Amino acid sequence: EAQVTQNPRYLITVTGKKLTVTCSQNMNHEYMSWYRQDPGLGLRQIYYSMNVEVTDKGDVPEGYKVSRKEKRNFPLILESPSPNQTSLYFCASSLLAGGGAGELFFGEGSRLTVL
């Protein structure tokens, strides 16, 4: 089954404790992206990757890191989480970059709470 898998789905952590949210897709997609969803703000892009070893900042990259060592995986790293990073995070992938009548496939989301 074609899917984007994120882990963990739910996480409560404390300020400053490094964490990684993993994302894996099994569709051989070139493009992968991370978004955060906050009430009243919609989805905002954190980082994206056009292909292996190619990553770029989105609209809200501060406090986050990513890597794309393999095509299928695109982990999101919070080196020193802060309460303002409490949010619902989505990983997404598509065959080509971002749009162009290509469908963006989303994971089920990871709800992160930073105390």
Partner 1 sequence: GEDVEQSLFLSVREGDSSVINCTYTDSSSTYLYWYKQEPGAGLQLLTYIFSNMDMKQDQRLTVLLNKKDKHLSLRIADTQTGDSAIYFCAGAGGATNKLIFGTGTLLAVQP
Binding site for partner 1 (CB under 8 A): 4, 35, 40-45, 48, 50, 56, 58, 90, 92, 96-101, 103-104, 106-109
First to last CA, the chain: 36
Which residue, 71 or 111, has its beta carbon nearer to partner 1?
111
* Shortest Cβ 107–partner 1 spacing (Å): 5
Tokens of 21: 């949210």
Shortest distance, CB of residue 1 to partner 1, whole angstroms? 14
Cβ nearer to partner 1, comparing 43 with 77:
43
The long-range contacts involving 58-67, CB below 8 angstroms and separated by at least 24 positions, are 58/33, 58/34, 60/36, 64/34, 66/34
**DSSP element (H, E) containing 76:** strand 76-78
CB of 101 to partner 1, least distance (A): 5
Smaller CB distance to partner 1: residue 8 or 98? Answer: 98
Q: Is 100 left (phi over 0), alpha (psi -120 to 50) or beta?
A: left
The answer to whether residues 35 and 90 touch, using CB atoms and an 8 Å cutoff, is yes
Q: Please state the closest distance from residue 31 (CB atom) to partner 1, in A.
A: 9
- Rank residues 92 and 114 by Cβ distance to partner 1 and give the closer one: 92
